[in-house]
Amino acid sequence: MNGSAEALSALFAAAQAARERAYAPYSRFRVGAAVLDEAGAVHAGCNVENAAYPVGTCAEAGAIATMIANGGKRITAILVLGDGPALVTPCGACRQRIREFADPTTDIHVAGPEGVRRSFTLEALLPASFGPDNLA
């Protein structure tokens, strides 16, 4: 399901809706993210800035927190949606957050308002990563 057109469409719609609700009065750079969990449920988040910059929360972190709060345990795909000509890939901290709940082959889709621009695996964005299995 994580590679299906239906799943990708649902992720895009959820990230787009979340992005519209982003709280970004300082950077004015709104980002939405949506994760697909192991049960096929979609969970979205948006960036939330804070006057005590950089205390804000990334969209990916919000989506992951929503997934956990709703009972999801594993990320099977994630989509990150942002503006601008450059790819809006997850920051380093969010790549590690994704790693906590995903495996190296998990798809990370990077989108702009027009649609998906590029897809990566987690391994491509965070090679030779440290994760929960290192502590087992």
Evaluate whether 101 touches 64 at the Cβ level (below 8 Å). yes
Evaluate whether 106 touches 116 at the Cβ level (below 8 Å). no
Secondary structure letter of residue 51 according to DSSP: S
Residue 130 vs residues 29, 74, 76, 95, 96: alpha-carbon distances, Å: 30, 17, 18, 11, 8
Q: Is 60 among the catalytic positions? A: yes
Per-position b or e across 112-124, b if 16+ CB within 10 A of its CB: beeeebeebebee
Catalytic residue among 20, 38, 49, 60: 60
Whole-angstrom distance between the N-terminal and C-terminal Cα of the chain?
29
Q: Cite the active site residues.
A: 60
